[in-house]
């Protein structure tokens, strides 16, 4: 990989389940699954360890299905704060080898070691050192991909698991990857894969060799970039930890405890989600203008819509009002709702939001900032909107944080 970047992609294996086993060593030699709770309608497998995988347990299995495959399966409830703590500790290890560490979700990171490699030996030396340190210091394992681009480094970490290193070099990337399906690389989801299939493009090699003009015409700059990345032409930089990155979106989703039959019932859930989103926006010193809502009905169909308001906001009331307006447009109450997700995007620093001193919005901001301080001192549940207090629909344990969640590009 002479004259090329040297990029690692480190992926913590079976992260949630591995954290649980590190927390409780008595279960580490047993098949383990992190699951929701059956009585609260999120009783599925969220993650599993290698032993559970050998029995055929899969993410998304209903608990009784998983236990039918593996009668001795140990089911544990998720501890998201613990996972965040482990994630930060893993990143702190990575940052000892380079300042160019870019997270991808809670359990994956890219590292560009091009400029620091001279201090640590070969790329393989660094990869093996990272594997050893994470295992010894945290009790977790990682798989590492080594390559000249972010695309192939990530593909490398996916190719051999757990606790392994895979090298995809500029000399061998075609022979190693061109036979693989399109879904092997980041950026190609089900919808885009189906569209490419209709052009008789099924493998990475098919995409690399296809007429570039047709790809650009049909899929625009995103299609052009994907094609170039599989051709080995990829200048996407690994972001430095010193570069402040503004999130693309801040959102929450949840599955309700029972199906929601009308908008009056739904209001408490929407307010709960909007209050959570507004609180996190303020914590990040962000405000946004585009509110998006997606709903899933109990026939499993999805509907979604976005709306951009006049001014950036990070107050729960404004987000709530915009979300309810969208819901009025996409849900006619003919079919009960099972789940909902709301997000705010088009984000910018909240200190750029100009407000009239006599505007009620300014007073609202002061009120919600005061609420934040009370929660920091006495806990989140110490003060909350009245509409959410006694709701029998809100399932806090099924709350999903969906910050920066990018849907399929097409």
Q: Which of 20, 102, 108, 276 is catalytic?
A: 108
User: Which residue, among 114, 141, 138, has the nearest Cα to 126 in the 3D structure?
Assistant: 114
Token pair for 260: 């929601």
Token pair for 301: 């169909």
User: Crossing angle of helices 212-230/190-197, nearest 10°?
Assistant: 130
Strands 286-297 and 302-313: antiparallel
Residue 42 CA to residue 40 CA, distance in Å, equals: 6
User: What are the b/e assignments for 139-150, b being 16+ CB within 10 Å?
Assistant: ebbbbbbbbbbb
3-state class (DSSP) for residue 251? strand
3-state class (DSSP) for residue 50? helix
- Going from the C-alpha of 63 to that of each of 47, 59, 74, 246, 345, the distances in angstroms are 11, 10, 11, 38, 35
3-state class (DSSP) for residue 286? strand
3-state class (DSSP) for residue 217? helix
Residue 355 CA to residue 363 CA, distance in Å, equals: 10
Contact 410, 195 (CB under 8 A): yes
Other C-beta atoms lying within 10 Å of the C-beta of residue 399: 17
Residue 334 CA to residue 337 CA, distance in Å, equals: 10
Residue 278 CA to residue 287 CA, distance in Å, equals: 8
* 3-class secondary structure per residue, 305-322: EEEEEEEEECCHHHHHHH
- Cα angle value 22/108/194 (rounded, 5°): 125
Contact 33, 48 (CB under 8 A): yes
Q: Is 108 a catalytic residue?
A: yes
Residue 215 CA to residue 221 CA, distance in Å, equals: 9
Active site residues per annotation: 108
């Amino acid at each position: 990989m002479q004259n090329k970047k040297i990029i690692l992609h480190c992926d913590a294996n079976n992260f949630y389940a591995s954290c649980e086993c590190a927390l409780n060593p008595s279960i580490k030699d047993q098949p383990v699954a992190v699951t929701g709770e059956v009585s609260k309608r999120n009783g599925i497998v969220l993650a599993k360890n290698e032993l559970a995988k050998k029995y055929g347990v899969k993410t998304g299995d209903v608990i009784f299905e998983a236990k039918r495959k593996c009668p001795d399966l140990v089911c544990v409830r998720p501890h998201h704060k613990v996972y965040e703590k482990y994630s930060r500790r893993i990143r702190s290890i990575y940052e000892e080898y380079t300042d160019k560490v870019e997270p991808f979700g809670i359990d994956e990171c890219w590292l560009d070691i091009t400029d620091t490699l001279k201090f640590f030996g070969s790329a393989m030396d660094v990869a093996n050192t990272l594997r050893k340190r994470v295992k010894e210091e945290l009790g977790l394992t990682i798989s590492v991909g080594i390559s000249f681009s972010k695309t192939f480094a990530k593909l490398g970490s996916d190719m051999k698991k757990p606790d392994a290193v895979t090298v995809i070099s500029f000399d061998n990337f075609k022979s190693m990857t061109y036979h693989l399906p399109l879904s092997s690389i980041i950026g190609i989801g089900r919808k885009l894969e189906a569209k490419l299939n209709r052009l008789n493009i099924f493998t990475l090699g098919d995409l690399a060799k296809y007429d570039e003009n047709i790809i650009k015409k049909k899929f625009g700059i995103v299609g052009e970039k994907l094609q170039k990345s599989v051709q080995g032409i990829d200048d996407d930089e690994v972001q430095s930890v010193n570069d402040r990155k503004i999130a693309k979106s801040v959102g929450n989703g949840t599955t309700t405890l029972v199906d929601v039959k009308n908008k009056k019932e739904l209001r408490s859930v929407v307010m709960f989600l909007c209050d959570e989103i507004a609180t996190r926006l303020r914590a990040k010193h962000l405000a946004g203008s585009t509110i998006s809502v997606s709903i899933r009905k109990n026939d499993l169909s999805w509907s979604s819509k976005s709306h951009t308001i006049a001014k950036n906001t990070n107050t729960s009331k404004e987000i709530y009002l915009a979300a309810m307006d969208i819901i009025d447009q996409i849900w006619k109450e003919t079919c009960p709702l099972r789940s909902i997700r709301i997000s705010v995007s088009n984000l910018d620093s909240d200190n750029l939001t100009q407000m009239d001193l006599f505007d009620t919005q300014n007073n609202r901001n002061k009120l919600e900032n005061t609420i934040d301080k009370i929660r920091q001192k006495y806990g989140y549940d110490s003060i909350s909107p009245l509409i959410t207090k006694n709701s029998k629909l809100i399932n806090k344990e099924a709350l999903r944080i969906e910050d920066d969640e990018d849907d399929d590009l097409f």
